[in-house]
Amino acid sequence: MRDDPRIAGLLRLVTLASRPPAGAGRIAVALGLGLTTHLIFAAAVLAMIAAMFFGMSESFGRVPHPWAWLANAALIVQFPLAHSFLLTRSGGQLLARLIPGPHGATLATTTYALIASLQLLALFTLWTPSGVIWWRADGPLFWLICAAYGGAWLLLIKASFDAGAEVQSGALGWMSLMARIAPRFPDMPTRGLFRVIRQPIYMAFALTLWTVPVWTPDQLVLALSFTAYCLLAPRLKERRFEQRYGARFARYRARVPYALPHFRRRHPDAQ
């Protein structure tokens, strides 16, 4: 298990962070931002799970109609725009400056996770429901859809682990600061679900959008919008991978499909 780089890198980071060099101020900043990020991250995930389970029909938004649709559209758009911008070179430079003092660059990945979590929390708690419910599953079908919904979330968790749990959770930045080391990003992900498709995180998230037991106009708008984002946004990510990994990524891209797995029947004469 320790030979698996997904586990080895995480264990190394946790071990170093658990024995931090002296520096009370540095440790306080790291722990404070880390705790805040993980609490808001957890709240955002729970809000997503609950809101979509009810087809976006239960939330705290109370904008009067028809203005509610404009407010909801703004909530949808703000996530992909900021999320994608912060992954650019200019966005990375901004992230490094958001935390005052000498630790902004080290904490950039944690700051990024915190901003993304706040964006998602706002989307799923401030949404104004339309009040229209088209369809609600019941009986055995309800439990079947619930199982599919839970399975989609488990796939998302697995894909996030395969990509590097320390990066996806925001732990890389604050733990690196605790250990007083430069953040070390995981290698290009090719294990686990990344053996099957190149974008398992985006595709697993898309699955969560369509496996809900309650359907409303709200859920349909959300599902269509974010599915389009899940199909298009990874193109930008792959451009960064081309620049970073070169021929290695080109070989991986040629071998592994983008979003849908290949189910090829093995020829009986194949060795």
What is the model's pLDDT at position 78? 96
What's at 255, amino acid-wise? R
Q: 130 lies in a domain?
A: yes
Q: Is the separation of the CB atoms in 73 and 123 below 8 Å?
A: no
Q: State the Rg of the chain over Cα.
A: 20
In whole angstroms, what is the distance from residue 172 CA to residue 255 CA? 30
Q: 21 lies in a domain?
A: yes
pLDDT digits (tens, 9 = 90+) for 5-33: 888 888 999 999 999 999 999 999 999 99
Query: Strand runs (DSSP E) across the chain, as ranges?
Result: 135-136, 214-215
In whole angstroms, what is the distance from residue 158 CA to residue 161 CA? 5
Tokens of 224: 């269509």
Q: Is the separation of the CB atoms in 161 and 192 below 8 Å?
A: yes
Q: 269 lies in a domain?
A: no
pLDDT band for 267, please (50, 70, 90 cuts).
Answer: very low
Mean of all residue pLDDT scores within the chain? 92
What is the model's pLDDT at position 268? 45
In whole angstroms, what is the distance from residue 57 CA to residue 141 CA? 20
Q: 264 lies in a domain?
A: no
pLDDT digits (tens, 9 = 90+) for 166-219: 999 999 999 999 999 999 998 999 999 999 999 999 999 999 999 999 999 999
pLDDT band for 1, please (50, 70, 90 cuts).
Answer: low
In whole angstroms, what is the distance from residue 213 CA to residue 140 CA? 11
pLDDT at 238 over 50: yes
Q: What residues make up the domain containing 200?
A: 5-255
0.75 exceeded by pTM = yes
What is the model's pLDDT at position 270? 44
pLDDT digits (tens, 9 = 90+) for 148-178: 999 999 999 999 999 999 999 999 999 999 9
Q: 208 lies in a domain?
A: yes
Tokens of 48: 């997503």
Q: 38 lies in a domain?
A: yes
Q: 28 lies in a domain?
A: yes
Closest CA to 218 of 95, 150, 135: 135
Residues found in the chain: 271
Q: 147 lies in a domain?
A: yes
Number of domains in the chain: 1
